[in-house]
Structure 1
């Protein structure tokens, strides 16, 4: 398992090894021990699976406020997405900046999005399946969101008009919400 870092601290790209032959492949996509040996210690409590039938389905930007904040490990089992993590930790030197990465069944990469980040993705292929582990349970009362098209963030989603939920269509800009992760809380 290979682990790569970004210019934004704490966001990680995890590349599991894939062993294949004429029958198919085998991959250990998560190993607590393997990543602990690399200094990454995460305890997951929930697995989620999302299916999007069409390209252009945009889900996000979502987060959960403390004390129910979640870290997420995202991967794609079928299809492809542009995955985005936005630093919303007030006082962070990278506050309001984002990391984006194509995750696909073909490249087999995973993105670790830690607590203190908003997360979203847009599907790039039909019949895309996204799986992600979380290190905290979903809490409806802690649920938050940021507008996918917030001009202050300037995210290049590389799509035209996305297919959105009502919740995502009405999400506020980052500047219009109380800091979910104020300085010193992360």
Structure 2
């Protein structure tokens, strides 16, 4: 695997080594020792989550606060998504900035989203199966979120707003300025 730093400190694009032959392919999707060596991050994942969505579904921007903050390693098993991480660490030099990465079943890229970041994605293919590891258990009382179309973030979700499918809960999230503090 190769970990490629993004402009946001601690956030990495992970490119696995994929071995193809006439039977298909093999890849190691995660190896704790290699991950730590490549990223300098010591992370112990405790929960795996998976979702399946149709084109235009936008999930996010979500995070967990305080002692329940989560780091995530995300990837796509089927289809194509635009995955977005937003730095919400108070005092960070890149506070309010984001990275957007195309994750597909074909490119097999992953994104490591460290604690202190909001996360979201939009499905660009007809359907997509999205899989992610978390280093902390979900806690409902620690939920935080930011409105997907906050003009301060200026995220290009690559689909027109009228084509987006967003939960009622996500439609009323606050903007970054009024969002719950991560810490």
> What is the aligned-residue RMSD (CA, Å)?
0.9
- Aligned partner of 2:66 in structure 1 is 66
Q: Where do 1:47-58 residues align within 5 Å?
A: 47-52=48-53, 54-58=54-58
Residue 76 of structure 1, CA deviation: 0.3
TM-score, normalization: structure 2? 0.95
Q: Where do 1:1-186 residues align within 5 Å?
A: 1-38=1-38, 39-52=40-53, 54-160=54-160, 161=162, 162-181=164-183
State the SS of the aligned residue for 1:163: coil
State the SS of the aligned residue for 2:141: helix
Distance in 2 of aligned mates of 1:6 and 1:36: 16
Check the 8 A contact 2:145/2:179 in 1, yes or no: no
Structure 2 portions without partners, runs of 5+ = none
Distance in 2 of aligned mates of 1:2 and 1:69: 25
Distance in 2 of aligned mates of 1:40 and 1:17: 19
Check the 8 A contact 2:82/2:121 in 1, yes or no: yes
Distance in 2 of aligned mates of 1:180 and 1:7: 20
- Aligned partner of 1:184 in structure 2 is none
Residue 90 of structure 1, CA deviation: 1.1
How many pairs does the alignment contain? 180
Distance in 2 of aligned mates of 1:67 and 1:133: 17
Residue 40 of structure 1, CA deviation: 3.0
TM-score, normalization: structure 1? 0.94
Residue 177 of structure 1, CA deviation: 2.4
State the SS of the aligned residue for 1:155: coil
State the SS of the aligned residue for 1:96: coil
